Copies of this chain bind each other. A is one copy, B any other.
Amino acid sequence: MSLPPQRLLHHFAFDPHSRMVRLALGEKRMAFEESHIKYWEPSDALIRLNPSGLLPVLSETYANGVSLNICETRAIVEHLEEAEQNIRLWPLDPQERAEARRLTGWFERKFDYEVNALLLHEKMEKRLMGLGAPNLANLRAGREALRDHLSYFESLLEARNWLSGRHISYADFALASHLSVIDYFDEMNWERYKHLKTWYMVVKSRPAFRPLLADILPGVAASAHYTELDF
């Protein structure tokens, strides 16, 4: 497996978990093709690709004919880290590495259910699924939960260079992916979170971030500052 494999990422541009893997691939300078998946439409093809129906899925085909199908961020980032060790996105220090994995998991076990399931569901998924206008009580609850999470991240970034400590890690890309989608829908009040804002300006300036800033959701204009590096 010395030649790099051909990579195909099955994803949806505004799925935060998919965005995290696009950032990781970009940071590791791994080229990939894209297959755009409408995960909200019932599809046998998606279930064959990943029985959970969740995105993203990374398919790799090696020159020797071996192919790999790797489902969801947890398996993908560990695989990328094992496959490409020149650019490491898990910190080498064991405590900082555990902290980065804890925070990466935060988005799968907490943020997804406490924020995305309300805020993104109401603002994005309902539109994608043709389910009508947002429910205002849910929107309010999602915004409130978001504020709690942002205050927590702000408190971490007040004391650290990067989310998990002294080194950039997958935790930063997990946070940036999630906030970038919320920012597209103009739900980020950056002025309230100084450290978070400074951190985001830095992450947003990285070359791997550029493709995310070019994403367009038909029928929904991005917030005015979505693409601005200095906002």
- Tell me the A residues contacting B by CB distance below 8 Å: 50-52, 54, 68-72, 74-75, 78-79, 82, 94-95, 97-98, 101-102, 104-106, 108-110, 112-113, 152
Contact partner of A72 among B51, B82, B105, CB < 8 A? B105
Known A102-B75, A105-B74, A108-B105: A68·B94 in contact at CB below 8 Å = yes
Q: Cβ of A105: which chain B residues have Cβ within 8 Å of it?
A: 72, 74-75, 108
A-B contact pairs, 10 of them (CB 8 A): A51-B152, A54-B110, A68-B94, A68-B95, A71-B98, A74-B102, A74-B105, A75-B97, A105-B108, A109-B109
- Per the bound structure, the CA–CA distance linking A162 and B31 in Å amounts to 34
Mostly, the A contact residues are: helix
Contact partner of A54 among B50, B74, B95, B109, CB < 8 A? B109
Q: A75-B97, A75-B105, A78-B101 are in contact. List 4 more A-B contacts (CB 8 A).
A: A50-B102, A51-B152, A70-B98, A74-B102
Q: Cβ of A101: which chain B residues have Cβ within 8 Å of it?
A: 74-75, 78-79
What copy number does this chain have within its complex?
A: 2
Task: Please give me the residue from chain B that is nearest to A70 by CB atom.
Answer: B98
Task: Please give me the residue from chain B that is nearest to A117 by CB atom.
Answer: B113
Contact partner of A108 among B51, B69, B82, B109, CB < 8 A? B109
Q: Cβ of A152: which chain B residues have Cβ within 8 Å of it?
A: 51
Q: Cβ of A79: which chain B residues have Cβ within 8 Å of it?
A: 94, 97-98, 101
Nearest-CB distance from A7 to chain B (Å)?
14
Q: Cβ of A110: which chain B residues have Cβ within 8 Å of it?
A: 52, 54
Contact partner of A69 among B52, B74, B78, B95, CB < 8 A? B95
Q: Cβ of A74: which chain B residues have Cβ within 8 Å of it?
A: 74, 101-102, 104-105
Q: Cβ of A78: which chain B residues have Cβ within 8 Å of it?
A: 78, 101
- Per the bound structure, the CA–CA distance linking A3 and B99 in Å amounts to 23
